[in-house]
C-alpha cells in the first residue's frame, strides 16, 4: 500500500516549489550573491522566518536551485537527443548542443548559476554531482554509440612529430578500432592529435563511466568539444560576442559542427 500523502504534505511540497520559483526569479535581479531569503519571503507574502520551515538556510535554498538547474538543462538535452534517430550521430550532437544553448538563452541567470563563476563562500554539497553530469552523460553516450557503430571518421595519419619533449604516447588499454561501416560515403579523416601518456588514466576512467569503448583521442576530442560548446554559450551569454557575432544562431550551429569534428563526428 502506497503511503497516502496527506493534504499537509501536498501543500508543503507545493510551497517549497513556489519558494524555489520565486528565488529563481530573484536570481535574475541580483545574481546568486544577492539572493535574499527575506526578499523571497516578502514575495511569498510570508514573514521572513517562515522560510526556515522549508529551507534550513540560505545555502540550502541555493543548493536546491543549483540541483534544479542541472536537472533542467540535463532533461532538455536528454529530450532533444531522444527525439533523434538513434543512428544519426551528428544530428544527435547538434540537437543536444542546440538544446543546451536554448535552455541557457531562456534562463541566463540559472545558466550563470551553474556554469558561471562559483558563488563566493558557497561550497556545493555532494548531491549536486549527479545532476551536474546529466548533460555530459548524454553526449558521452552519443559518442559511445557512434564509436560502437563504426560511424566515427578514421584517424588521419599522424603529422610529423617535430617536438622531442612529447613523444609517442603509450595507449595501453585502447579498444580496437573498427573500420567505418561499409556502404557509407567516404568520410574525411578526423585530425590526429596524439594523447600524452599521463592522460591515459583519465581516459580509462571516462571510458568506465561515460564513454565506454571509445579510444583515447576521441575521449579527449569529445571533452574538448563539450567544453568548447559551453565556452561558446558562455561567451554569447556573458557578452564576449558583442560586436563580434551578429547571427548567433547560425554561428552556433556552424561552431557545433566544427567541434563535432574534434571527435570524428562529421557531416550529416
The distance of closest approach from Cβ of residue 67 to a second copy in the complex, given in angstroms and rounded to an integer, is 15
Please classify residue 163 by burial: count the beta carbons closer than 10 Å to its beta carbon, then call 0-12 exposed, 13-18 middle and 19+ buried.
exposed
Nearer to a second copy, 2 or 160 (CB): 160
Q: Which three cell numbers stand for residue 139?
A: 553526449
146 Cβ partners below 8 Å, 6+ apart? 89, 152, 265
R_g (Cα) of the chain, nearest Å = 22
Nearer to DNA, 37 or 195 (CB): 37
The distance of closest approach from Cβ of residue 124 to DNA in the complex, given in angstroms and rounded to an integer, is 16
> Out of 48, 128, 133, 234, which residue is the one contacting DNA (CB under 7 A)?
48
- Does 57 bind DNA (CB under 7 A)? Our answer is yes
- Binding partner of residue 6 among a second copy, DNA, none, CB cut-off 5 to 8 Å per kind: DNA
- Does 50 bind DNA (CB under 7 A)? Our answer is yes
- Binding partner of residue 57 among DNA, a second copy, none, CB cut-off 5 to 8 Å per kind: DNA
Nearer to DNA, 36 or 234 (CB): 36
Nearer to DNA, 38 or 184 (CB): 38
- Binding partner of residue 125 among DNA, a second copy, none, CB cut-off 5 to 8 Å per kind: none
Give CA torsion, residues 142, 143, 146, 150, to 10 deg.
-170
Nearer to a second copy, 68 or 236 (CB): 236
- Does 37 bind DNA (CB under 7 A)? Our answer is yes
The distance of closest approach from Cβ of residue 254 to DNA in the complex, given in angstroms and rounded to an integer, is 43
Binding letters toward DNA, positions 58-97, x by CB under 7 A: xx--------------------------------------
Nearer to a second copy, 1 or 186 (CB): 186
- Does 256 bind DNA (CB under 7 A)? Our answer is no
Nearer to DNA, 7 or 165 (CB): 7
- Binding partner of residue 244 among a second copy, DNA, none, CB cut-off 5 to 8 Å per kind: a second copy
DSSP sequence for the chain? -PPPPPHHHHHHHHHHHHHHHHHHHHHHHHTTTT--HHHHHHHHTS-GGGGGGT-SSHHHHHHHHHHHHHHHHHHHHHHHHHTS-TT-HHHHHHHHHHHHHHHHHH-HHHHHHHHSSPPTT----GGGHHHHHHHHHHHHHHHHHHHHTT-SPPBPPPPP---SSS-PPP-TTPPPPPPPPTTSPPPPPBPP-PPPGGGHHHHHHHHHHT-TT--HHHHHHHHHHHHHHHHHHHHHHTTTTTTT-S-HHHHHHHHHHHHHHTTT----
- Binding partner of residue 1 among a second copy, DNA, none, CB cut-off 5 to 8 Å per kind: none
Q: Which residues bind DNA (CB under 7 A)?
A: 6-8, 12, 15, 35-39, 46-50, 52-54, 57-59
Amino acid at each position: 500500500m502506497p503511503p497516502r500523502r496527506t493534504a499537509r504534505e501536498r501543500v508543503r511540497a507545493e510551497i517549497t516549489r513556489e519558494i524555489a520559483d520565486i528565488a529563481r526569479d530573484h536570481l535574475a535581479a541580483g545574481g546568486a550573491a544577492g539572493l535574499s531569503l527575506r526578499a523571497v519571503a516578502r514575495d511569498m507574502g510570508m514573514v521572513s522566518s517562515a522560510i526556515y520551515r522549508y529551507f534550513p538556510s540560505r545555502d540550502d535554498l541555493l543548493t536546491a536551485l543549483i540541483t534544479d538547474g542541472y536537472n533542467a538543462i540535463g532533461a532538455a538535452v536528454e529530450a532533444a537527443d531522444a527525439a533523434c534517430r538513434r543512428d544519426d550521430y551528428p544530428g544527435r550532437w547538434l540537437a543536444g548542443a542546440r538544446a543546451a544553448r536554448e535552455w541557457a538563452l531562456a534562463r541566463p541567470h540559472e545558466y550563470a548559476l551553474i556554469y558561471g563563476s562559483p558563488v563566493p563562500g558557497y561550497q556545493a554539497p555532494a548531491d549536486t554531482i549527479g545532476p551536474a553530469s546529466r548533460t555530459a552523460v548524454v553526449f558521452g553516450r552519443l559518442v559511445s554509440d557512434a564509436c560502437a557503430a563504426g560511424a566515427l571518421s578514421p584517424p588521419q595519419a599522424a603529422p610529423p612529430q617535430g617536438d622531442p619533449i612529447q613523444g609517442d604516447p603509450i595507449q595501453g588499454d585502447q579498444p580496437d578500432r573498427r573500420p567505418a561501416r561499409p556502404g557509407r560515403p567516404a568520410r574525411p579523416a578526423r585530425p590526429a592529435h596524439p594523447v600524452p601518456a599521463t592522460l591515459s588514466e583519465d581516459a580509462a576512467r571516462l571510458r568506465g563511466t561515460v564513454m565506454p569503448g571509445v579510444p583515447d583521442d576521441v575521449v579527449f576530442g569529445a571533452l574538448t568539444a563539450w567544453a568548447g560548446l559551453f565556452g561558446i554559450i558562455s561567451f554569447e551569454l556573458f557578452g564576449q560576442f558583442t560586436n563580434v557575432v551578429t547571427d548567433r544562431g547560425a554561428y552556433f550551429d556552424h561552431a557545433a559542427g566544427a567541434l563535432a569534428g574534434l571527435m570524428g563526428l562529421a557531416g550529416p
